[in-house]
Amino acid sequence: MGTVVLGTGSCLPEKVLTNLELESIVDTSAEWIKSRTGIESRHIGGKGEKTYQLATQAAQKALDSAGVAAEEIGLIVLGTISSHMLMPSSACFVQKELGAKNAFAYDINAACSGFLYGMDLADKYIKADHAMKVLVIGAETLSSRLNWQDRNTCILFGDGAGAAVLGYSPTDRGIIGSNMHSDGSLWQLLCMHAPESLNPDLVVDGNAGAYIQMEGREVFKHAVRAMADAVSGLLEREKISRESLSLVIPHQANMRILNNLIDRLHIPQSKVFINVSKYGNTSAASIPIALDEAHGSGLIAQGDTILFCSFGGGFTWGATLIKW
């Protein structure tokens, strides 16, 4: 162990889009969205708002809560699939905005698992270099990458950012272990094309546009099974019982996925942190936003065992255990 969370932060855009407002955008009903997904509203970026700006605000709050200066950060990893530019990375923009001049910075493209992949990476860096402090961020403006005519997807997602500062503690606290997976063979079930090639020879067949495409039912089946298996495998490997878990913070995809996951895991719902009704699925940002809310509302105490799990496009998925 040894890699602890020193502070957390989050940031949601001010603008809120309700289910009722979606009725005037796409052929849907507020009631359908609420009953099928549990989502009631989501925050979406306002004019000019960018992923790195949400990320910077979340990161600054995490630094403040950790009592760590930007100059002390050695690495910034940012999970996102909705940067406003392909190059430079959003992580480099955050580095500039924070004045984190001693950090190197890059983005991770692991869709909804971006934050957990980032935590896993940070854990390995910190274990190799105890002086290292890492800023792990998940941030999205997915509203810029949705087909607003596709009711199967546009009602599900939202924008936001969450962040955590990770560092070393010479105690028995910290990241216990993680169990990360990918399966690229199923990429077509949940994907987003790049902008069209400018080289006619490299034009990709079937590129309808740079927005999320999803086979919802198929994704649903894989997501529940994969997260449950990753969690069970991790608990078994680390010899941690379900009963000893203090809190579970899953990726906030939608209530149907969460309810099925809870049933499969045999964990009481009272131990599962859920905020999807307010934010929808914010992809890489969903776990760090939930973590910051749980932390801020006093739901996490030192010594608690916390479990995270995620699933996203790629497919990418995994689970992480931490002793707080």
Binding-site ranges for ligand UT7 (CB under 6 A): 28, 32-33, 36-37, 112, 151-152, 155-156, 214, 216-217, 219-220, 223, 253-254, 256-257, 281, 311-312
Marked catalytic residue, from 254, 281, 295, 309: 281
How far apart are the C-alpha atoms of 272 and 302, rounded to whole Å?
18
Provide CB contacts within 8 A for 230, sequence distance 6+: 179, 180, 181, 309, 317, 318, 319
Q: CB-wise, 72 or 159, nearer to ligand UT7?
A: 159
How far apart are the C-alpha atoms of 267 and 241, rounded to whole Å?
11
What does residue 203 show for φ and ψ, rounded to 5 degrees? -60, 130
Marked catalytic residue, from 11, 92, 112, 154: 112
Whether the Cβ atoms of residue 114 and residue 283 lie closer than 8 Å to each other: yes
Least CB distance to ligand UT7 at residue 195 (A):
22
Q: CB-wise, 33 or 163, nearer to ligand UT7?
A: 33
Q: Please give the order of strands across the beta sheet that includes 305-312.
A: 174-182, 316-323, 305-312, 247-250
Least CB distance to ligand UT7 at residue 216 (A):
3
Q: Which two tokens stand for residue 320?
A: 């992480």
Q: CB-wise, 115 or 311, nearer to ligand UT7?
A: 311
Known catalytic residue at 251? yes
Strand partners, 245: none
How far apart are the C-alpha atoms of 197 and 204, rounded to whole Å?
7
How far apart are the C-alpha atoms of 104 and 83, rounded to whole Å?
18
Q: Which two tokens stand for residue 286?
A: 């969903």
Q: How crowded is the C-beta side of 114, counted as CA atoms within 13 Å? A: 32
Across 102-116, b (16+ Cβ under 10 Å) vs e yields ebebebbbbbbbbbb
Least CB distance to ligand UT7 at residue 127 (A):
29
What does residue 250 show for φ and ψ, rounded to 5 degrees? -90, 160
Known catalytic residue at 191? no
Least CB distance to ligand UT7 at residue 157 (A):
8
| Nearest residue (beta carbon) to ligand UT7 | 216
Q: CB-wise, 33 or 300, nearer to ligand UT7?
A: 33
Q: What residue type is assigned to position 28 of the chain?
A: T
Q: CB-wise, 33 or 126, nearer to ligand UT7?
A: 33
Q: CB-wise, 19 or 179, nearer to ligand UT7?
A: 19
Least CB distance to ligand UT7 at residue 39 (A):
9
Marked catalytic residue, from 43, 179, 251, 295: 251
Least CB distance to ligand UT7 at residue 312 (A):
5
Catalytic residues: 112, 251, 281
